[in-house]
């Protein structure tokens, strides 16, 4: 069972529900609304008026979508949606659906528009207040509003789309055939801000501190007299979850950190210092290095590594959680997890009232059913950058807040080939040097993931007066916005030279360093 801690929104937070009709850009709409100072939240396309009003909304956005409004199975809204006395903005499919419901005619366009188009603004008020008469927008549609009757005003058009923006004369409904949420519409953020401020009369006061206070009010009511266990990895998401829960419920939280022997250098010490000493959290550290390395002995297949690590993690975590249950005191009822908004949406469970898949911080799938914990996901409404902002509000140290992602199986997928403790230790030393030099060059925050990889090959070299036959280490650094695609980072040559020199001179057993200049796709960010 998944327990939501974020609906409905308190009355003093400006909220804009977004009805999701399947647009590939729907997450961007939520982001743009939040960036403008209101809280954008995704709801099912057919959310009832009662469900919508529970959020105390200032307005509603109807997203785009890939369907045609009259095709079989096309998503539609609740029949009473337009009886709500709220401002509404329909985008692409949302415009077509809303305009159709209010009397306009939608048909297949003579010329579909995909890409940039020049928009001619006819009424530079309301949505288009402060915008020039001509501006670039991003179109992506095959259908369009053809006839708007006397009930609509046409606000803007393009050469092939005479009705590119409308406003209903008697209702607070606006429609845009283009996508204001994408960066390809340069003034799109201004249009959305006009909707939020000029049309919906939002105050623009929503901040991450509001989210923290909201959670701190909701979590104690949900938890009651019970306890919560949280799997802590030392990564950003689980760390922020732990800090938030600790602030909200205090000593009713127990964190479990599994030392699997596949961690970065000094990772365990960092977690213990931060959460046991700094936050004074009840932290249980499980030393399971021997078990994990035993499972991985002789295994070089990447998928088999992941499978064995996942099974062992479930076993270790389950036993540790059971020990917390046996400790006495308040009963353990909840498992906390750092699920984020993109995780929820991508798993197909993005709408209110549905449960998210349990992914855990090690990406190993669900815990056994017999644990019988309810799931608390206090970050499920946030994007990654918002989680970092929340971490700063909570006082999580910057070294954790701004950490690069680390794979669930840890260094097991960065030691290519067989996993042994000596090979892990060698990679740890190399990885530490890479990160030290990236930080020293002030490149850490401008790159999204940087790490070293130990290759399963040996290379001939010359060191001193003799030949060597030692390991090869690859350095990987990428820049990305969403981790779905990524480009290799153009690290300055002098920085790469320093990294290479330090690794070869300071790490015994390495005589060659190479730099990975592959983009994703076709390569992946991790090597395994």
Looking at the chain, how many residues does it have? 528
**Residue 453: in which H helix or E strand, if any?**
strand 449-463
Q: Which residue from 376, 368, 373, 281 is spatially nearest to 332, judged by alpha carbons? A: 373
Rounded CA-CA distance 207/515 in Å is: 40
What is the C-alpha separation between 206 and 487, in angstroms, rounded?
33
Q: Residue 229: CB partners within 8 Å, gap ≥ 6?
A: 253, 254, 255, 256, 321, 324, 332, 334, 335, 336, 373
Element at 308 (helix H, strand E): helix 302-326
413 is written with which tokens?
């997928």
Q: Is-contact 273 245, C-beta < 8 A?
A: no
Catalytic-labelled residue, pool 51, 181, 386, 437: 181
- What b/e string do you get for 37-69 counting C-beta neighbours within 10 Å, with b at 16 or more? bbbbbbbbbebeeebbeebebbbbbbbbbebbb
List, in sequence order, every residue forming a beta bridge with 227; answer none if it has no partner: 332
DSSP-assigned letters across all residues of 199-230: IT-------HHHHHHHHHHHHHHHHTT-EEEE
Please answer whether residues 313 and 261 qualify as being in contact, where contact means their C-beta atoms are separated by less than 8 angstroms: no
Asked if 89 and 124 touch (Cβ cutoff 8 Å), the reply is: no
Distance CA 195, CA 86 (A): 12
Among the listed residues 78, 168, 179, 362, the single catalytic one is: 179
Q: Which of 465, 466, 468 is nearest to 507 (CA)?
A: 468
181 is catalytic: yes
Residue 92 is a catalytic residue:
yes
What is the C-alpha to C-alpha distance for residues 137 and 518, in angstroms, rounded to an integer?
A: 32
Catalytic residue among 77, 92, 161, 255: 92
Residues 245 and 136: their CA atoms lie apart, in Å, by 45
**466 CB contacts (<8 Å, ≥6 apart)?**
none
275 CB-contact burial (10 Å; exposed 0-12 / middle 13-18 / buried 19+): buried
Nearest Cα neighbor of 231 from 361, 326, 355 is 361
- H or E stretch at 61: strand 60-62
Tell me the catalytic residues. Answer: 92, 179, 181
């Amino acid at each position: 069972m998944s327990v939501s801690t974020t609906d409905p929104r308190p009355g003093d937070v400006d909220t804009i529900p977004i009805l999701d009709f399947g647009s590939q850009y729907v997450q961007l709409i939520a982001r743009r609304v939040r960036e403008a100072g209101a809280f954008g939240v995704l709801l099912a396309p057919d959310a009832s008026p009662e469900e919508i009003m529970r959020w105390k909304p200032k307005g509603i956005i109807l997203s785009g979508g890939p369907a045609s409004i009259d095709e079989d199975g096309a998503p539609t809204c609740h029949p009473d949606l337009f009886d709500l006395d709220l401002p509404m903005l329909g985008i692409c499919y949302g415009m077509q659906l809303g305009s159709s419901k209010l009397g306009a005619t939608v048909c297949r366009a003579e010329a579909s528009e995909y890409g940039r188009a020049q928009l001619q603004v006819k009424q530079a008020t309301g949505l288009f207040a402060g915008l020039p008469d001509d501006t670039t927008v991003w179109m992506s549609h095959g259908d369009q509003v053809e006839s708007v009757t006397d009930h609509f005003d046409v606000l803007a058009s393009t050469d092939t789309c005479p009705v590119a923006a409308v406003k209903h004369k008697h209702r607070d409904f606006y429609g845009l055939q283009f996508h204001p949420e994408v960066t390809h519409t340069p003034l799109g953020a201004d249009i959305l801000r006009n909707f939020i401020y000029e049309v919906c009369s939002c105050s623009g006061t929503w901040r991450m501190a509001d989210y923290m206070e909201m959670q701190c009010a909701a979590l104690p009511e949900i938890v009651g007299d019970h306890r919560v266990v949280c799997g802590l990895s030392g990564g950003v998401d689980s760390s922020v979850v732990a800090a938030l829960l600790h602030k909200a419920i205090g000593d009713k939280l127990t964190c479990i950190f599994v030392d699997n022997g596949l961690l970065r250098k000094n990772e365990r010490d960092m977690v213990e210092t931060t959460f046991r000493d700094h936050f004074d959290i009840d932290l249980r550290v499980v030393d399971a290095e021997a078990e994990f390395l035993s499972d991985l002995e002789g295994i070089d297949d990447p998928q088999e590594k992941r499978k064995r690590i996942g099974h062992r993690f479930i076993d270790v975590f389950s036993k540790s959680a059971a020990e917390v249950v046996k400790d006495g005191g308040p009963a353990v009822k909840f498992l906390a997890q750092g699920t984020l908004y993109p995780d929820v949406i991508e798993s197909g469970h993005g709408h209110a009232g549905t449960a998210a898949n349990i992914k855990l911080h090690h990406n190993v799938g669900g815990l056994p059913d017999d644990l019988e914990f309810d799931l608390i996901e206090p970050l499920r409404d946030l994007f990654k950058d918002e989680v970092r902002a929340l971490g700063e509000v909570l006082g999580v140290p910057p070294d954790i807040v701004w950490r690069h992602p680390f794979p669930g199986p840890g260094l097991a997928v960065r030691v290519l080939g067989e996993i042994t403790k000596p090979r892990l230790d060698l990679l740890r030393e190399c990885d530490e040097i890479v990160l030290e030099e990236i930080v020293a060059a002030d490149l850490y925050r401008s790159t999204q993931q940087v790490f070293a990889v130990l290759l399963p090959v040996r290379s001939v070299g010359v060191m001193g007066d003799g030949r060597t036959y030692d390991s090869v280490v690859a350095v990987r650094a990428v820049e990305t916005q969403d981790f779905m695609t990524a480009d290799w980072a153009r690290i300055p040559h002098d920085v790469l030279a320093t990294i290479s020199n330090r690794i070869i001179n300071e790490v015994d057993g390495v005589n060659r360093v190479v730099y990975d200049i592959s983009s994703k796709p076709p390569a992946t960010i991790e090597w395994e």
